[in-house]
């Protein structure tokens, strides 16, 4: 008895070697097809043509199959026995780009453009995550965005198909107080402890006013231009009717603000204490009507964070910081977003007329190809704010109100 017959492991090794040899020979042989020789009527096993070629001449008893390359813009992806190749896809569909150009062995491959994914036969925009959800897997040409709820300590304002949840701002690490704890949809709001008891003349903190005060600021800006900054605050204070601003507030205001800012803030403080005053009633009714018209601008209720940043960067002079824009987006109602950004810009640029700032912003945004809804909404606000005839009427009412006070001459310096 031979050694291979007596050793089982040797038998397995011989069998394995024979199997590999048979598989190799089988793989090396091209696939075949049946063809009847037109001369002899004999059925022949002809070799198929490899990818990138087509049958030029079927085999005979004495000659093998003759193949030739596919013509330009045609392909054959597999072994076959056809005498023609397939035509390449001419163009990609809507919202698709060419991933791989056509060659002799492969058709043109198209895939969805960035920001889109394939659903059945159409490219659909990647989904954006809702507020409180962040992106855990970005969309691809064949899959949609994957969103998951933000864990504790993280937030997302939503509206993005790429942004993950972000950690809450740590106010204590910044040496600040936490004014408002973060939620799953908003960041923590920080404030400086020493400024809690002092006047913040720049008003560069985020407070979501129910009345946005843009119209009021435009009115006070026009009133302040009546040479009031040349009049001592004490004299202006004594001339304003109704309940007076206390002298402690006046002293804090004088220390914190520039002369022009002093007038604006004094008028604002006086207005807060005299909302029910008869002489102020006509002016404030008009201002409140203006505020209502501004807040109803439909095109500004669903703008994105990117839209807000475009507006902030388009306004002249001192810019509203991205962190403040994000705070507005995170903490304010959607209808307040654009108005709050304008309010912050106005607080940082007291010397610039709001209507002029909006006009500059619109020119910049148009040159950048900003969305139509954004331009339309800002243009409407600009038209409301710059209604000069309305504010001229308010100015006359205000001057008339001051002139009722015997000692005040609003348009003349004290030394005249």
Q: Where are the domains of the chain?
A: 3-87, 198-416
Chain center to CA of 187: 17
pLDDT at 54: 96
pTM of the model: 0.40
Structure tokens at 208: 């979501």
CATH number, domain 3-87: 2.10.50.10
Q: Could you tell me if 28 and 4 are in contact, meaning their C-beta atoms sit under 8 angstroms apart?
A: no
Q: Where are the beta strands (DSSP E) in 70-125?
A: 74-75, 86-87, 96-100, 109-112, 116-119, 122-125
Q: Could you tell me if 4 and 17 are in contact, meaning their C-beta atoms sit under 8 angstroms apart?
A: no
Q: pLDDT by residue for the chain (416 residues), tens digit each?
A: 444 444 555 544 544 454 444 444 445 688 999 999 888 889 999 999 999 999 999 999 889 999 999 999 999 999 999 999 999 987 888 899 999 999 999 999 999 999 999 998 899 999 999 999 999 999 999 999 999 999 998 999 888 899 999 999 888 787 777 777 888 888 888 776 544 433 444 444 444 543 345 666 555 555 555 555 566 777 777 777 777 777 777 787 777 776 666 776 777 777 777 766 665 665 656 666 666 666 665 556 678 888 889 999 999 999 988 888 887 877 777 777 887 888 788 878 877 877 788 899 999 999 999 888 888 888 887 877 665 445 555 555 555 555 544 333 443 333 33
Q: Could you tell me if 347 and 219 are in contact, meaning their C-beta atoms sit under 8 angstroms apart?
A: no
Chain center to CA of 108: 34
Of the candidates 303, 291, 308, the residue with the CA atom closest to the CA atom of residue 385: 291
Structure tokens at 216: 């009021």
| β-pair type (116-119, 122-125) | antiparallel
| β-pair type (86-87, 32-36) | unpaired
Q: Could you tell me if 161 and 127 are in contact, meaning their C-beta atoms sit under 8 angstroms apart?
A: yes
pLDDT at 342: 84
Buried-state track 355-383, b at ≥16 Cβ within 10 A, e below 16:
bebbeebbeebeeeebeeebbebbbbbbe
SS3 content of the chain, % helix, strand, coil (to 5): 45, 15, 40
pLDDT at 112: 94
Query: Across-strand partners of 46?
Result: 33
| β-pair type (154-155, 74-75) | unpaired
DSSP 277-340: -HHHHHHHHHHHHHHHHHHT-GGGSS--HHHHHHHHHHSSSSPPPHHHHHHHHHHS-GGGHHHH
Give the Cβ contact number of residue 401 at 10 Å: 20
């Amino acid at each position: 008895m031979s050694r291979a017959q007596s050793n089982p492991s040797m038998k397995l090794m011989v069998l394995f070697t024979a199997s590999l040899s048979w598989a190799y020979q089988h793989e090396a042989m091209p696939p075949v097809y049946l063809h009847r020789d037109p001369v002899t009527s004999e059925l022949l096993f002809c070799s198929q043509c490899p990818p990138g070629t087509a049958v030029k001449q079927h085999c005979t008893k004495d000659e093998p199959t003759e193949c030739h390359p596919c013509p330009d813009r045609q392909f054959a992806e597999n072994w076959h026995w056809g005498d023609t190749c397939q035509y390449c896809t001419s163009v990609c569909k809507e919202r698709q780009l060419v991933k791989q150009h056509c060659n002799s062995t492969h058709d043109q491959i198209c895939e969805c453009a960035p920001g889109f994914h394939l659903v059945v036969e159409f490219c659909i925009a990647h989904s954006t995550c809702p507020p409180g959800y962040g992106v855990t897997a970005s969309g691809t040409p064949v899959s949609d965005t994957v969103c998951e709820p933000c864990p504790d300590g993280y937030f997302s304002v939503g509206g993005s198909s790429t942004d993950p949840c972000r950690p809450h701002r740590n106010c204590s690490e910044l040496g600040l107080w936490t004014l408002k704890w973060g939620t799953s949809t908003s960041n923590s709001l920080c404030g400086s402890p020493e400024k809690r008891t002092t006047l913040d003349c720049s008003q560069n903190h985020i407070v979501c006013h129910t009345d946005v005060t843009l119209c009021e600021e435009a009115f006070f800006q026009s009133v302040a231009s009546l040479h009031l900054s040349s009049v001592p605050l004490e004299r202006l204070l004594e001339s304003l009717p109704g309940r007076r601003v206390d002298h402690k507030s006046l002293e804090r205001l004088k220390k914190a603000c520039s002369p022009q800012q002093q007038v604006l803030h004094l008028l604002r403080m006086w207005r807060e204490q005299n909302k029910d005053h008869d002489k102020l009633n006509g002016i404030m009714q008009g201002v409140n009507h203006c505020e209502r018209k501004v807040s109803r601008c439909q095109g500004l209720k669903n703008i994105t964070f990117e839209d807000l940043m475009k507006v902030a960067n388009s306004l002249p002079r001192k810019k509203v910081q991205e962190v403040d824009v994000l705070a507005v987006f995170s903490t304010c109602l959607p209808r307040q977003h654009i108005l709050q950004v304008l309010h912050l810009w106005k607080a940082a640029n007291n010397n610039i007329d709001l209507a002029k700032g909006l006009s500059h912003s619109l020119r910049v945004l148009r040159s950048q190809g900003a969305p139509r809804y954004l331009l339309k909404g800002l243009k409407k606000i600009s038209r409301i704010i710059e209604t000069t005839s309305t504010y001229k009427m308010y100015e006359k009412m205000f001057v008339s109100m001051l002139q009722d006070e015997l000692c005040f001459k609003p348009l003349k310096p004290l030394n005249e």
